Amino acid sequence: MCGRFTLTTRDVHDVARTLAAEVDRERAGLYRPRWNVAPTGDHWIVRLDASGKRRMLPARFGLELPGGRLVINARSETAATLPSFSQAFAEGRCLVPADGFYEWEGGRSDRRPLWFHDPSGKLLTFAGLAIENCGALAFVILTTAANDLLRPVHDRMPVLLSLEGAASWLARPDPKLLAPAPEGWLTGREVSSRVNAVANDGPELLEAPAPPRQLKFL
């Protein structure tokens, strides 16, 4: 799954240019780099407007279903046919910019965060679905089967799109685009356990984990 991720680029216009999108001046002022994007928070998506132009705008991460259940991911294999996502799959496809995402290894009492990102630091583009929900725009991230890098940690991963794949995804709902990331697209490393608390959000989260404390005996 993909429940926490990063977008640390300092300038919103750099993100917009990479994705060939436009961002309104008023909305651009809302942007800030993030090291710990979490469900229910606002993030940025790119979608086509009525004229076919790409627009970058904020949206809530997560869809609230009847009964109050929050859903943040949609399985790419079934999203086109599920009542919760079928219309968005046909009409609400979007891009979700990021530059990394977190997964965890270890037991509940020893959760160690891992940060997966492009080896050269380039922007990542998740395939998403945008939906009007509870009077606001919300989005979920599509997931697919994990590739070889992610499989030891989790059996699912976010769908990553190339720039060409991103254009195709916005243009049409092609399930063939929703495949595991090819080898070499990602690398991963362990980062600070401060990631575990959603209230923490700063560049120190990507630092190497602190070494275990040694017990001293008299």
pTM as predicted? 0.94
155 lies in some domain: yes
Whether 103 sits among the annotated catalytic residues: the reply is yes
215 lies in some domain: no
Spatial CB neighbours of 122, under 8 Å, sequence gap ≥ 6: 99
213: pLDDT strictly greater than 80: no
Q: How many domains does the chain have?
A: 1
195 lies in some domain: yes
pLDDT at 69 (0 to 100): 92
Of 2, 22, 105, 134, the catalytic one is: 2
- Spatial separation of the C-alpha atoms in residues 186 and 36, rounded to whole Å: 18
| Mean pLDDT value across the chain | 94
pLDDT at 188 (0 to 100): 97
pLDDT tens for residues 132-166?
988 899 999 999 999 999 999 999 999 999 999 99
Domain that holds residue 177: 5-206
pLDDT tens for residues 10-52?
999 999 999 999 999 999 999 999 999 999 999 999 999 999 9
56 lies in some domain: yes
pLDDT tens for residues 72-96?
999 999 999 999 999 999 999 999 9
31 lies in some domain: yes
Q: Which residue has the higher pLDDT, 216 or 122?
A: 122
Q: What are phi and psi of 167, to 5 degrees?
A: -60, -40
167 lies in some domain: yes
pLDDT at 88 (0 to 100): 97
Please name which of 198, 193, 187, 188 lies closest in space to residue 209, comparing C-alpha atoms. 193
Spatial CB neighbours of 140, under 8 Å, sequence gap ≥ 6: 62, 63, 71, 72, 73, 74, 85, 128, 129, 131
Please name which of 102, 118, 144, 115 lies closest in space to residue 18, comparing C-alpha atoms. 118
Whether 2 sits among the annotated catalytic residues: the reply is yes
- For position 168, which CATH number holds? 3.90.1680.10
216 lies in some domain: no
123: pLDDT strictly greater than 80: yes
First to last CA, the chain: 47
212: pLDDT strictly greater than 70: no
Give percent above pLDDT 70 in the chain. Answer: 96
pLDDT at 217 (0 to 100): 52
Of 77, 91, 103, 207, the catalytic one is: 103
166 lies in some domain: yes
